[in-house]
């Protein structure tokens, strides 16, 4: 995932997983492998929720001596998640947020000159993504679970070092390390389809241990077949890379 002397942007939300990953990569990649680590945080504009996270990220970065950059939806898209959530819309708030946040993280990583963008998706997140893609019929989305990322023009290579770490182990690391992480849940989290999938997978894992690994590995096996021949062009409206003629961000923002 990493090479000696990389410049690694880490998507840090202020939760236990991303703050844990920040600490580990700052130590392993920063101190031992001669890489530079930069924390990139997206401010979606969710009142009361992001404020606590931003404070925690700032404190963690200054304690670790890590550079930190915050990019807001307002600056990038001219709107916030609170504004989007208050509009009439067909999709859940999280559907908008997920697409816009992916774009924002890529922009933030580009702005700091990173050659890798590391996110703290755990094994639980990866297994959920596999099932979500299947249930939504999002064949192209399956490629996003590739933990080593790929080289695509216009995208900083995304890697997921926690992809085989169960969320419970990440939580254990956070508690044993004793660092503070965000306790407030996002006010829109209940709307997410991911919640239903999470509940289902947790029940299956308790009943049949190994379910999450099997689900994730099944998704990985599907990628080579599903992504064959997909050509990437540029969005006719914003110029960002996309497989269609208009990118998902422009579609959702109604540009």
| Residue ranges in contact with ligand SF4 by CB under 6 A | 44, 81, 93-94, 97-98, 186, 188-189, 192
Cβ nearer to ligand SF4, comparing 36 with 44: 44
Instruction: Specify the pairing of strand 7-11 against strand 116-118.
Output: parallel
Cβ nearer to ligand SF4, comparing 97 with 131: 97
CB atoms within 10 A of CB 68: 19
Structure tokens at 109: 């990583």
Q: How far is the CB of 32 from ligand SF4 (least distance, A)?
A: 32
Q: How far is the CB of 116 from ligand SF4 (least distance, A)?
A: 23
Q: How far is the CB of 145 from ligand SF4 (least distance, A)?
A: 17
Asked whether the beta carbons of 143 and 229 are under 8 A apart, the reply is no
Q: 46 φ, ψ to 5°? A: -115, 105
Cβ nearer to ligand SF4, comparing 6 with 128: 128
> CA–CA separation, 21 vs 23, rounded Å?
5
Cβ nearer to ligand SF4, comparing 95 with 111: 95
Comparing C-alpha atoms, which of 229, 234, 5, 243 is closest to residue 116?
A: 5
Cβ nearer to ligand SF4, comparing 20 with 30: 20
Q: How far is the CB of 201 from ligand SF4 (least distance, A)?
A: 17
Q: How far is the CB of 187 from ligand SF4 (least distance, A)?
A: 7
Q: 161 φ, ψ to 5°? A: -65, -20
Alpha helices for 2-92 (secondary structure H): 16-25, 50-64, 73-77, 81-86
């Amino acid at each position: 995932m990493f090479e000696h002397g990389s410049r690694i942007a880490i998507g840090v939300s202020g939760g236990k997983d991303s703050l844990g990953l920040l600490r580990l990569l700052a130590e392993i990649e920063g101190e031992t492998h001669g890489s530079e680590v930069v924390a990139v945080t997206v401010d979606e504009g969710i009142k009361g929720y992001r404020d606590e996270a931003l404070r925690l990220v700032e404190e963690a970065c200054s304690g670790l001596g890590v550079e930190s950059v915050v990019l807001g939806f307002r600056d990038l898209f001219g709107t916030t998640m609170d504004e989007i959530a208050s509009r009439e819309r067909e999709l859940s708030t999280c559907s908008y947020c997920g697409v816009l946040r992916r774009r924002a993280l890529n922009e933030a990583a580009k702005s700091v000159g990173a050659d890798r963008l590391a996110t703290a998706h755990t094994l639980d997140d990866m297994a959920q993504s596999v099932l979500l893609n299947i249930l939504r019929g999002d064949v192209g989305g399956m490629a996003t679970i590739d933990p080593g990322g790929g080289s695509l023009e216009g995208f900083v290579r995304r890697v997921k070092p926690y992809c085989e770490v169960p969320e419970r182990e990440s939580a254990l690391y956070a508690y044993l390390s004793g660092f503070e992480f965000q306790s407030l849940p996002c006010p829109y989290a209940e709307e997410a389809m991911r919640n239903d999938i999470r509940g289902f997978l947790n029940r299956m894992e308790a009943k049949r241990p190994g379910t999450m690994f099997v689900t994730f590995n099944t998704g990985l096996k599907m990628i080579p077949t599903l992504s064959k021949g997909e050509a990437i062009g540029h969005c006719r409206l914003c110029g960002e890379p996309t497989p269609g003629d208009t990118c998902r961000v422009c579609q959702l923002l109604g540009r």
